[in-house]
Chains A and B, each alone.
Chain A
Amino acid sequence: MSEASRRIAAPRPDPESAPFWDAARRGALLLKRCRACGNAHYFPRPICPFCMSAETEWIEATGAGTIYSFSVMRRAAPSYALAYVTLDEGVTMMTNLVDCDFDALKVGMRVKVAFKPSDGGPPVPMFTPL
């Protein structure tokens, strides 16, 4: 069962995160990586949350990841699946799981990014099982 009819609130980009949402419009998932310490982080910020360097750069993620945890909001109409997905790049992001049978979902499943339209804003990164 999917939640295609759920209205997705539009994110309002701030100046620093504009490239993330521009990339979302072309179906690409961007992360930030720090040139000083080498760590990727999420959500993207200009200053590295691991070493405080301002030398952060945008990198394009493969879009592949693994379900870290999820919960199906059964009481919502329509129901939907809130999730954390750990990307192959090593960061975990909040998302929804879509285009799938909610009853078949399992922690540890492999998933890939699927951008979905928001209500009046840029598309947002959701994930679907491989």
Chain B
Amino acid sequence: MSIKGKAYIAGIYEHPTRKADDTSVAHLHAESAKGALEDAGLGLGDVDGYFCAGDGSGVLTMANYLGLRPRHIDSTDCGGSSYILHVGHAAEAIALGKCNVALITLAGRPRTDPNFAASMRANNAASPEYPFEHPFAPTTVAMYAMAAARHMHEFGTTSEQLAWVKVAASHHAQWNPNAMLREVVTVADVLASPMIADPLHRLDCCVITDGGGAIVVTSPEIAKSLARPRVKVLGAGEAPKHQMGGRIDLSFSAARWSGPPAFAEAGIAPADIQYASIYDSFTITVVMQLEDLGFCAKGAGGRFVADGNLISGVGRLPFNTDGGGLCNNHPSNRGGLTKVIEAVRQLRGEAHPKVQVPNCGLAIASGIGGSLATRHASATVILERE
């Protein structure tokens, strides 16, 4: 049994805000849900499956707020990759007849909610590893920086190579009127930006944005009844990676375990992919995922992303053509939903003309949620324009 061809993405919506001073998280979820359902040509009453991670107050609160009556729910939370995982889970539920119209929502206000950071910390304080980590002040950026430092040590990856990931994203963001950062930057600009945690500079790090988004996944029958371009789910994979009892190996991410099953289910190879949405919390995150997903050999990620190879119309693998988390949007510090959205835009031919991949038929959205250096989960979906 597989999910291949059993579900379609029929609706997408990326909330235009990047700073939501006067909007609640629940309202951002609701506006996003409304936008995605309208995009699909469906309504509130059509939704019978609901997927909502830990951003905001969770699946029950949001089902209540939205007025949903699902017969299938899923609150899997693996950080920013949750929404990519939800697409795979939605396809599974739809394939089994557990629901026909699955709604996935995300929203958050890390920029304007003064309690955002404190509520994150409170969630973690009871974890068994907390006494063995918290005293050392492991910030997100420092932990990703440790992964970058190890990658440089093992494979000779350079800061210049990492910088190319940001450069490529900025080339795309310039065409996105909603992007938080629209200025095209050079490698020199990235290296000249302040060092935050060695070896990551400020421009190696994604933006912090308020916002949200939603996705609607449907059965084939419903997809075929809608007057919309059809984006079919071909395959999905997911896997966590942690500290393995102390046998820590930062040289690879969980994408090594989420990618191959997704490709196998889809029956295609990385070389077939025409557009890639790759989670870009930091430049190193992209480099490692490209290796682990099989776009290049282990350790060759730095060389792969250099010299504009990720720039649409220039390189071999157009990536994050909305500008990604590095330049456009990383709502609630969770960038997985916007990754799926841009892949769907590309497959529909609805990306900006300056970045649209001609005749885009096969795309991937893959993401890392959590911390590369401690505990994270990778989720991968492969999509096709029908």
Q: Chain A: residues with CB nearer than 8 A to chain B?
A: 6, 8-14, 17, 21, 39-43, 45, 49-50, 68-76, 80, 82-84, 86, 90-96, 107-108, 118, 124, 126
Contact assessment for B246 and A93 in the assembled complex, using a CB-CB cutoff below 8 Å:
yes
| Min C-beta distance of B275 to chain A, whole Å | 32
Given contacts A70-B146, A84-B248, A76 and B137 within 8 Å (CB-CB): yes
Q: Please tell me if B196 contacts chain A, counting CB pairs below 8 Å.
A: yes
Which of B74-82, B126-134, B303-311 interfaces with chain A? Answer: B126-134
Chain B stretch 166-203: residues in CB contact (< 8 A) with chain A: 194-200
Q: Please tell me if B24 contacts chain A, counting CB pairs below 8 Å.
A: no
Which of B39-47, B90-98, B147-155, B210-218 interfaces with chain A? Answer: B147-155
| Residue numbers in B under 8 Å from A80 (CB-CB) | 137
Contact assessment for B134 and A92 in the assembled complex, using a CB-CB cutoff below 8 Å:
no
Q: Please tell me if B143 contacts chain A, counting CB pairs below 8 Å.
A: yes
| Residue numbers in A under 8 Å from B245 (CB-CB) | 39, 41-42, 49-50, 91
| Residue numbers in A under 8 Å from B139 (CB-CB) | 73, 82
| Residue numbers in B under 8 Å from A17 (CB-CB) | 131
10 contacts between A and B (CB under 8 A): A8-B135, A10-B135, A41-B246, A49-B245, A74-B196, A86-B248, A94-B133, A108-B153, A118-B135, A124-B136
Q: Closest B-chain residue to A126, C-beta based?
A: B136
Say which residue of A43, A84, A96 sits within 8 Å of B128 (CB atoms): A43
Give the CA-CA distance A17 to B129 in the complex, in Å.
10
Give the CA-CA distance A95 to B17 in the complex, in Å.
39
| Residue numbers in A under 8 Å from B141 (CB-CB) | 73
Q: Closest A-chain residue to B200, C-beta based?
A: A71
Contact assessment for A69 and B146 in the assembled complex, using a CB-CB cutoff below 8 Å:
yes
Q: Please tell me if B341 contacts chain A, counting CB pairs below 8 Å.
A: no
Chain B stretch 103-132: residues in CB contact (< 8 A) with chain A: 128-132
Give the CA-CA distance A37 to B245 in the complex, in Å.
13
Given contacts A71-B197, A94-B132, A83 and B246 within 8 Å (CB-CB): no
Q: Closest B-chain residue to A116, C-beta based?
A: B135
Contact assessment for B135 and A82 in the assembled complex, using a CB-CB cutoff below 8 Å:
no
Contact assessment for A94 and B246 in the assembled complex, using a CB-CB cutoff below 8 Å:
no
Contact assessment for B135 and A124 in the assembled complex, using a CB-CB cutoff below 8 Å:
yes
Give the total number of A-B pairs whose CB atoms are below 8 A apart. Answer: 116
Q: Closest A-chain residue to B249, C-beta based?
A: A92
Q: Closest A-chain residue to B199, C-beta based?
A: A71
Give the CA-CA distance A124 to B146 in the complex, in Å.
20
| Residue numbers in B under 8 Å from A39 (CB-CB) | 245
Contact assessment for A96 and B142 in the assembled complex, using a CB-CB cutoff below 8 Å:
no
Say which residue of B134, B147, B148 sits within 8 Å of A11 (CB atoms): B134
Given contacts A14-B128, A69-B149, A91 and B246 within 8 Å (CB-CB): yes
Contact assessment for B250 and A69 in the assembled complex, using a CB-CB cutoff below 8 Å:
yes
Chain B stretch 214-269: residues in CB contact (< 8 A) with chain A: 243-248, 250
- Given A92-B247, A108-B153, 5 extra CB contacts under 8 A: A14-B128, A71-B149, A75-B194, A82-B136, A93-B132
Q: Please tell me if B382 contacts chain A, counting CB pairs below 8 Å.
A: no
| Residue numbers in A under 8 Å from B3 (CB-CB) | none
Q: Please tell me if B273 contacts chain A, counting CB pairs below 8 Å.
A: no
Q: Please tell me if B383 contacts chain A, counting CB pairs below 8 Å.
A: no
Q: Please tell me if B377 contacts chain A, counting CB pairs below 8 Å.
A: no
Contact assessment for A94 and B131 in the assembled complex, using a CB-CB cutoff below 8 Å:
no
Contact assessment for B135 and A11 in the assembled complex, using a CB-CB cutoff below 8 Å:
yes
| Residue numbers in A under 8 Å from B12 (CB-CB) | none
Contact assessment for B128 and A69 in the assembled complex, using a CB-CB cutoff below 8 Å:
no
Q: Please tell me if B145 contacts chain A, counting CB pairs below 8 Å.
A: yes
Interface-centre pick from A74, A86, A126 (highest chain B CB count, 10 A): A74
Give the CA-CA distance A72 to B148 in the complex, in Å.
12
Contact assessment for A74 and B248 in the assembled complex, using a CB-CB cutoff below 8 Å:
no
Q: Closest B-chain residue to A40, C-beta based?
A: B246
Contact assessment for B246 and A82 in the assembled complex, using a CB-CB cutoff below 8 Å:
no
Contact assessment for B134 and A96 in the assembled complex, using a CB-CB cutoff below 8 Å:
no
| Residue numbers in A under 8 Å from B246 (CB-CB) | 40-43, 90-93
Say which residue of B150, B194, B195, B374 sits within 8 Å of A69 (CB atoms): B150
Q: Please tell me if B87 contacts chain A, counting CB pairs below 8 Å.
A: no
